[in-house]
Every structure is written in structure tokens, then in C-alpha cells.
Structure 1
Amino acid sequence: MIERFYAKNLVGFKTLDLELSPGLIAVTGPSGAGKSVFMGSLLALFGLDDVKAERSEAVLRRSGVLELDSYECDEPDITVRAVKKEKIRYFLNDLTISKKRLKEMMRPLVGHIGQRNNRHLSPQLLLELVDAMAIFSDPGFAERLSSFRELYESYRKKSLRLEEMRADEKRVKELIEFAEFEISKIDETAPRPGEDEELMSIKRKLSKKEKIAEAVAKASRIFETEHDVHEALTLIEGDSLLFDEAMNMLRSEFERAGEMLDELEDTDVESVLNRIEELAALKRRYGSIEEALAYRDEKVKELEYYRNIDHELGGLEKEVETIYLALQKEAQNISYSRKEASERVERFINGYLEQLRMPPLRIEIAKKPLDISGVDEVKIDLEGSAVETLSGGEFNRVSLAVLLCKSELAGGEGVLLIDEIDANVSGDESIAIARVLKALSKNYQVIAISHQPHLSAAATQHILVAKEGGESVAKVLAKEERVAEISRMIAGEKGMGEASKLAERIMREFAS
């Protein structure tokens, strides 16, 4: 539920700062006072309308239907904020969020009835409602639905793979030639892992060959005085053994250098440079020798696949066909369960429509192409009228009846924002709407703009939007103020005496 709503520099309002209660909240006031602006600003915080306030904020109580993902925080409440400067920015728990992402995230929590918003009467939601009824009657139906969706997902992936293989089959000769060409290009070079580093080491040694030979020759003169040094160390009783070991080590290093120089003499410099260039060209194309060899292995596997594609294609075609037949069979079983559940949903909704002084509707299960939800599409018909042809008032009351059914079945929770659902209705219809909204507010926080006294009398909280000194203001009414506002709705500014008594009586009736 929304616990607090704040807005600054909203059209007509300097500031709005309201603490909201659970249950049914009525928003009333004279025409042009700013009720729709107030409602629009609330809707805008959930991505359902355009932001018009310089700054607006809603504090929400945590709900199990919300999945915050990376926007999770340690605070007990959830904060949604919109700031309008050069551009509009949205924040969820002080983290920037796009309008689209915010709308998607808040969709399970915040609903809106008004201006022919057909979300609650969409085929998808109606199908979910029928499925909820089927699960209510048979808990095993949920597992069947889950298994069906998993099987369909497998079917979808394998079907996509089958399409890819069929496309490959049409140009398999071309693909084989390309794979063979790619393999041969690498095989022509025949690189070895680490070969480039070995060759670069040889190149560096070749560039220093003469300097190495000259330096070794010069340094070898040290061996001419080796005997004299050894005798001197012996005479002075020095460590001649350490000297001998050092000289032997030096001799060994110089011998190794000599062998290296002999090898370099036999090295074809041009061949080394050409090989380095070959490997450099390979690395420019693939990144490294290791990556080139990995690419070659990949192409070898592709080549094997292309040469065996007929066999693999036939096996996959049979597998896809088998899964499709299993899906069709299970879809029919699910459809049968839905048909039974739809009849119960129909009776459920019609019970509420009767309370709302509306004629009964008929729920039809139509067929559609197989998808992840099955082969069923749910449509409603109201005395021969499709949803699209209903008046605004009828449309909203049908939406309300559907929401009540959902609330009863699934224990729905959240916030429901309603625009003028009781406008242009009779007294009996107004009473019925008020009672139904009061029942719905057991699970939902319902915030409704109202022009009728009955909904206002049924509310647990009453917000008056009015003009003061040319500015719009909104405030929560105390009991006496509620009586005065409901009296105004009944009789206008005149005849308030009798109207006050009637207002008090209506409030008592809804309180009982």
C-alpha cells in the first residue's frame, strides 16, 4: 500500500503531502479543483501517466508481489520518486530507474481502472483468472501447467534449431567448402603453440650474434691467468676450490654460447623472418596461435556436422514432431480443465455484476495457435456486446467484477487507482459500486475519485481536493468534515440541514 504521497509544484498545487491509510480512500471535491491532477500524479509515479510535478514521491509498504532485484535495500519501506527538471528522472530506493522498467516492476502491485484501461479485461489476464480457478479446484493443475510450459520451451528451442539446420542444409555444399578452406589455411601455416615466441628469441639472438662472439672472445682471456690465480690462492691459503668452481661454471657458459653461435651459423635468417611474418599474418586474423588452433578445431567439428547433417536433421525432425504431438494432447487436456473452470469464473463474476446492477456476461474459450499458454484464448461477451463496445461505466464495472474474482481466488494484494467509476450512474448503482469497492478494499488499498455520496460514506479515509485562494489543496477530512462534504455532494451548497442527517445515516449504514 501507499503510506505517504508528496508532490511539489504540481499543476494547481503548491505542495501535496498526505499520509494514506489502508482500505478504501475516497477523493472528492468540486469540479476543476484538481482531483484528476492528483490522481494523474499518483499514476505517474508508477509509469502510468506523465510526470507533471517538479518533484513527487510515494512511500510504499513492502509487498510480496514486488520483485526488486538490484533495487533491494535494507529499509523497511520502498520509495519511488520522480524529479522533473530539464528531463524527467525516476528513482526506486534512491537508484535511477527507467520509466519502462519502473512500470514493469510495479505492474503486479499497482492497478488502474479508468479511461478504458483494458489491462484487467485483456485475454491474458482473463486466462490467468481461469487458470487460478482451475488451480483452486485442482491444485495438481498448477504442476500440469508448469510441465506443459517446460515442454513447450523445449519444443521452441528445438524448433529454432531445426529451422537453422534446414537453412544450413540448403547451403551445405557452400558451408563444407568454407569450413575446408578455413581449415586448410591454418594447416598450410601449421603453427605450433609458442612457436612465435621461440622464433622471436632466435631473431633477437641473430641480431646480437656478432656482439656475442666478440664479447665471449674478449672475456675468454680470463682463462690465460687461471693457473696463476690458482697458485696465488694456494700460497695465501685462500679458497681455491670456490675459484675453480666459478671458473668451471664460466667455462661451461662460454661453451654453451659457442654452441649457440654454431647453431646460429647454420640458421637460415631469411627462413626465420619469413616464418615470423607467416605467423604474424595468422595472429592478425585470429588474435594468437592458440586462438587460431581453437578456431580450426571449431571448424573441424562444423565440417563433421555438415557432412552428417542429413542424419541429424532427420532425427531432430522426428523429435520435434513427437514433442508437438505431446503438446497438442496435453493442451487439449488443459483446455478441458479450463472450460470447466471458466464456467465457475463466469458464475463468480456474474454474482458481482448482479451486485453492480449489470447484466450477466458470458465467458468463451476460443481456440488459437499453440503457444506457451496452450491453445486457449478467453473472451467475454456481455449480452451480445464485445468488450470494445461497452460504455465507459459498464467497462469499469466489469473490470471491477473481474478484479473481485481475482482477489477472492488468489488473495490479490496491492493498490488500485480508480477514476470516477460512479460517475453518471443511478443511486442504486452507486450504492452497489460502493459496497463492492469496500469488499475489494479488504485485500487492496483502493483510491477512488468519486462524485457520489455512497462511495465517500463507505471509505475508511476521505480526501477533499478544493481551491483555496486560487490554489488547489488536498487534505484528509475528520468525521465532521466528512459529513459536511458528503452533504454537499447530496444537496449542493443549499439544504445542508436535511442533507447532513442523510449523510450521517449513509455513513452509519456502511460502517455496520
Structure 2
Amino acid sequence: MIERVYLKEYVTFDEVELEFSEVELEFSKGLIVFTGPSGAGKSVLMRGILSIFGYFDLNAKLGEAIVDADIDLEKFGLEKDDILIFKQMKKNKNRFFINNQAVSRKIIREIADKFLNYLSLREIKEFENENILLLLDKMNDNKKHHQNLKTYNEKYNLFKSIQKELHTVLFLEKEAAEKKEFLKYELEKIEKIDPKHGEFEELMEIKKDLSKIEKIKEKVFEVERIFDFEYSVYELLEMSGLESEFFSNAMNELRIAIDKANEKADYLENVDIEEVLERLSNLQDLIRRYGSVEEALEYYEEKKKELEKLENLSFEKEDLEKKLELISKDLYSLADIISDERKKTAKKLNEKLNYYLEKLYMPKAEIVFNKTELNRLGIDNVEIIINEIDINTISTGEFNRLRVAMLASKLEYENQEMTLFLDEIDANLSGEESMSVAEVLKYLSSKYQIFAISHQPQLASKANKHFLVEKKDGKSMVRELNKNERIEEIARIIGGKEKSQKAIEYAKELLKENND
């Protein structure tokens, strides 16, 4: 609930300071009415208050509102506090704050929408299919119904997930033929070369060794001459009384090394150099394309799996279609059960709605159900019809009274106290009709905080707080009226500037009736 509003240098208002919190109005609830001559600035003032909450651009130097509402600020990345202070300042551009923490206009509007509702002209949000269905579900106290809603939601999410998978498969299937040919071509190129891990490095080593065959043979021939002196070394060691084992081991190791060198030379002599060079050339082509032999092999495995998946698409599609068919049957079955429950609840809502419509001198309304395609809310499309006419085509006066009737009908099912802004909701109505609107709004003010602009004495007489907006010398001002001032203002509304005694008496009578 809004407890205080402050505006500075706003259009024709130099300064506005309004207090709405009263002891007799629990948590600032109640009916707050603004009256005054045409052009005084009532609608401008209402727009100014709404601007603090991001609904309009604020043309004020400063706008501030203190709000009592249970909002989880941490959800919006803001520090929690006991009260909410909304602020908008304008220098070069508008800047928004909540409890002195800077926020975007989008965030401030999102937070305000949690507790504030502005019923602007021809706004049909509350009559949209989704909102009516959500209201019917909230009104239904059958636990089984709410369990069905939960189950339906879970199954519908699964349904959408499978449907998405199927769309992907169908899309791939369209491109599958061409893509399969491309993948086969890519795989065949790698298969034709048939690279092995570490092969390129081995071949490079062989290529390097091939150039050293003759040198190896020459060195083997030179080294083998050492064995001509082997016996002499043994004789020397024996004459010197030294052990010969170390020398014997060294000579054996040398013979093994020479054997390996000869084997390598024999192997290299049998290697086809042209074949090695051609193989290296093919591997180098792969390396240029994929970065390395290992990366080429990874690419091969990846594309092989992709090809297998494409070749299995028909099986996957068939499996998904079967799953979708089964879950669709479950969903339609659940949706029918949910729809039946909603229709039962709609009868209760319809009765409440018509009860208030009758009070508001309106013809009866009918809540009509039509089937629609399966969606996240079920299969219901709900419309409200008055005199067999769609509500989009009824007059503004009738439409506003329908909105008041709907607000009253769902009052007991609202979990959160709200602040409503109504701009001339009783415009173009007869005295009897205006009184009916005033009485229903007074009833609504037991739970809602209602800000209303009115040119009718009936609504003004019902107000818990009555503010007068007037203009002098081009400057607008607003002030709260006391009892005598209210009589004067209501008499002005009834009889114009030249207030007759009869208008004053009628104003007193209206106020007396509403205060008894």
C-alpha cells in the first residue's frame, strides 16, 4: 500500500505532498478520491504518482513514494529493508531508485506490478484467456484438481521437449540425404589414407635414416677393425694382473650395437623410398587440413557417429512419434478433466459476476468455454459475453462497470493486497449507476487501496480520504478536505460554481449516509 507521495516541480504543480496512512484505514487501505474542476490537473497528478513506479515518464524534478508491501527485493539483486522507498529523479534523464539503490525502469515497473494495478482505458488484461483460467484454478479448492494441474504441467513440459527433439530430427531428415553423401565422402578420404597414431613421426625418422645408410656401413667397417686388437688387449691385461671382465663386457656390447646397426642398414636397404615419400605426402595433406594425424582421426570418429545418427534417423523419428502420441493422449485426457473442473468453478464465478453486474445496473454476463489446441494451460479458451456481444465491442461505461464487477467477484481469492488506480471509472454514468459503482468500490476498498478520479458526487461521498485538485494563476494544488470542505466540493460537483442550498443539503445527505 502507498503511504506517502511527494512530487517536486511537476508540470503545473510546484510541490505535492500526500499522506494516505491513517489509523482507521488498516495498512492504508481504503477509497481515496480526487475531485476538482476540469483541467485542474487530476489526471496529471495520477500520472505523476504512477510515473514514480515506471508507468510513465516523469516530468518532475523529484518523485518519491513510501510503500508498505512484502516484496522479495533480493530476487532483484537489491538489499532487503522493512519499507520500500521508490524514487525518481530527473536531471538530464530519469533515474530510478529503490531504497537509494539505483535500478532500471524495467525493474522498478516489474517490482511495482507486484502490488499495483493501473486500470487504464479499455485495458482488457484481466479478461484475457490466461488470466481468467488462472483465476478459475485459484478459486477451485479441490486438491485433486491442483494435483492434475501439476501433473499436466510436468507432462506438457515433457511433451514440448519431445516435440522439440522431433522437430530437430525432421529438420535433419530433410537434409540427411545430401549430408550423408558429404559425410561419406569425408570419411572415405580419411579411410583411403588410413592414418595410424604416431605414423608420421616414424616415417619422418625413416626418411632421415635413409640418407645415412652408406655412412652407417662405412662406420661399421671402420669399427669392426677394433676386433683385430682384441686378443692383444687381453694379453696386456693378463700381464698387468688386471681383471679383463669389464673389457669383455664392453666388447660384447659393441658386437650387439654393430649387429643392430647392420640390421638397420639391411632393413633400410629394403625400404621403398618412393613409397615412404608418397605416404608422407598423403599424411601431410591430412595434417594441413586437420592440424595433425590425431586430429584427423578424432574428426573421423566424430563424423562416423554423425553418419550413424543420420542413418538411424528414421528409427529415432518413429520412436519419438510414438512417445508423442502416448503423451498427447494423456494430456488430452487430463485437459478434459481439468476443463470439467473449470466449468464447475466458472458457474460460481458467473453467479458472483452477475450478482455485482445486477448491482451495477448491467445485463447478465456469460462465461463461455471453447476448445482450442493443446497448450500449456490445457484446451480451454474462455470468453465473457454480455447480451451475446463480445466485451471488446461494449461501451466504455459498460466495460468499466464490468471491470469493477470482476474485481469484486475475485476479491476473496486474491492472496495479496493491491493498490488500484482508476481514472474516471464512473464517467458518463447516470446518478443511479454512479452510486452503484461507488458502493462496489467501497466494498473493494476493504482489501484494496483505491485511488480514483471522479466527477460524480456519489463516489466522492464514499471516500475514506477526499482530495481536491484545483488551479489558480496557472498553478495546480492538491489538498485533503475536511468534512465541511467536502460538503462544499460535493455540492459544487452537483450544482456547479453556483452551489444551491438544495445541492448543499444533498451533499450533506450523501456524506451522512456514508458515515452512518
Q: In which range does the TM-score fall when normalised by the shorter chain?
A: 0.7 to 0.9
Corresponding residue number in structure 2 for 1:77:
83
Q: Deviations over 1:437-484 (max 9, x none)?
A: 111112211100011222122111122111133211112223333333
Aligned to 2:6: 6
- What do the CA deviations read for 1:53-103 (whole angstroms, capped 9, x no partner)? 343232221235x67622432221223333444444444444454444544
Shift of 1:277: 11
**1:113, 1:396 within 8 Å by CA — same for their partners in 2?**
no
The Cα offsets for residues 363-417 of structure 1, whole Å up to 9 and x where unpaired, read as 1011211111111111111112221121111111101111112222234421110
**How many residues end up aligned between the 2 structures?**
434
The question of whether the paired residues in 1 share the 8 Å contact of 2:96 and 2:103 is answered with yes
> Alpha-carbon deviation of 1:300?
4.7
Unmatched tracts of structure 1, length 5 or more: 200-269
What is aligned with 2:55? Answer: 48
Q: 1:469 aligns with which of 467, 473, 491?
A: 473
The partner residue of 1:392 within 391, 396, 400 is 396
What CA distance in whole angstroms lies between the structure 1 residues aligned with 2:197 and 2:78?
51
Contact 2:286 2:296 in 1 (8 A): no
State the Cα distance separating 1:496 from its structure 2 match: 5.7
1:313 is aligned, of 303, 313, 317, to 317
Are 1:29 and 2:33 an aligned pair? no
Quote how far apart the aligned CAs of 1:107 are. 3.0
> How far did residue 186 of structure 1 move?
8.4
Percent of pairs identical after alignment? 36
| Aligned position for 2:442 | 438
TM-superposed deviation, 1:312: 1.5
Q: Is residue 379 of structure 2 the alignment partner of residue 372 of structure 1?
A: no
Please say if 1:478 is aligned against 2:450.
no
Offset from partner CA, 1:143-189 (integer Å, 9 cap, x none): 21121122111111211110110111222233344556667888979
Corresponding residue for residue 487 of structure 1 = 491
Determine the C-alpha separation between the residues in 2 that align with 1:189 and 1:46: 69
Aligned residue in 2 for 1:338 = 342
**Residue 239 (structure 2) aligns with:** none
User: Does the aligned pair in 1 maintain the 2:287–2:296 contact within 8 Å?
Assistant: no
CA distance in structure 2 between the aligned counterparts of 1:379 and 1:388, rounded to whole angstroms: 10
**Aligned-partner Cα distance in 2 for 1:430–1:56:** 32
Q: Which entry has the higher C-alpha Rg, 1 or 2?
A: 2
**In the alignment, structure 1 residue 117 sits paired with structure 2 residue 120:** no
Contact 2:129 2:381 (C-alpha < 8 Å) held by counterparts:
yes
Alignment of 1:210-221 (within 5 A): none
Matched with 1:503 is: 507
1:45 Cα deviation after fit = 3.3
Q: Secondary structure at the match of 2:427?
A: coil
State the alpha-carbon separation in 1 of the partners of residues 195 and 306 from structure 2.
20
CA distance in 1, matches of 2:462, 2:293: 78
Q: Are the counterparts in 2 of residues 24 and 460 from structure 1 also a CA contact under 8 Å?
A: yes
- Change in CA separation of 1:333 and 1:4 when aligned onto 2, cut-off 3 Å: same
| Counterpart among 451, 459, 463 of residue 459 in structure 1 | 463
Corresponding residue number in structure 1 for 2:272: none
1:162 to 160, 166, 171: 166
* Counterpart-to-counterpart distance in 2, 1:430 and 1:381: 23
C-alpha distance in structure 1 between counterparts of 2:5 and 2:329, whole Å? 54
CA–CA separation in structure 2 for the residues paired with 1:186 and 1:89: 62
Structure 2 gaps, min length 5 = 22-27, 205-276
Distance 1:183 1:14, change over 3 A: farther
Q: Which of the numbers 51, 67, 70 marks the counterpart of 1:63?
A: 70
TM-score (structure 2 length as normaliser)? 0.74
Q: How far apart are the structure 2 equivalents of 1:168 and 1:115?
A: 49
* C-alpha spacing 1:71/1:289, structure 2 compared with 1 (3 Å): farther
Deviations 1:188-238 (A, max 9, x none): 797979x99xx9xxxxxxxxxxxxxxxxxxxxxxxxxxxxxxxxxxxxxxx
- Alpha-carbon contact 1:68-1:105 (below 8 Å) kept: no
Q: CA RMSD in A?
A: 3.4
